[in-house]
Amino acid sequence: MSIDAYAVQLGEVLEIRAGFPFRGAIEEAPDGGTLVVQMKDVDPLAGVAWESAMRAQLRGRKVPSWLQAGDLLLAARGARFYSAPVSPPPEPAVCGPHLLHLRLKVPDRALAAFVAWQLNQPPAQRRLHAAAEGSSQLSVRVGELAKLVLALPPLHQQARILALADAAARERQLLTRMLTLREVQLAALAQDIDQNAGLSGR
């Protein structure tokens, strides 16, 4: 498949914001009015797991950068800087300080899910690691991420690529299920062989 694309810096197409600046550890508040998405709640394939997000009470004067459908989250620390699109939040939500909050400026030039997909691919991962800083733990600063270059195809080709990625994800799930069923079948066969040989329980 031949794909036409042009190079663009992320800062040209995305607003890039740091996560909410909690002071110290995030304290869970069962009656809090805000969901806090952390790195553990974000999966590059499954997206945001809202059911596992912590509930907290926001403090301080900073106006929260509320998450909304179509935003992106980027895990900006660690060995892999994975990204995922945000599905509609069930309640007011922010992301924690180890995540970056990305929002499209130009929806006529890019699909959020495509940008997330591309950020997770090896070429962008190499550029992210080249821009990362830190000795004990790598991290990417907002300014460096804004300068990161991606290749954007036309919207219709972005949609085609996403359809291929979705098909690959479904195939992966099907293969995983088939392998699991095969392992169960082989385990049952081994047990049956033992029983027929009178070895069951030994």
pLDDT digits (tens, 9 = 90+) for 15-43: 999 888 887 788 888 888 899 999 999 99
Mean pLDDT by 10 residues, the chain (202 residues): 80 92 82 90 91 88 88 86 92 92 90 93 89 77 89 92 89 90 92 83 66
pLDDT at 137: 73
Tokens describing residue 110? 């890019």
Q: Give dist(CA 83, CA 163) in Å, integer.
A: 18
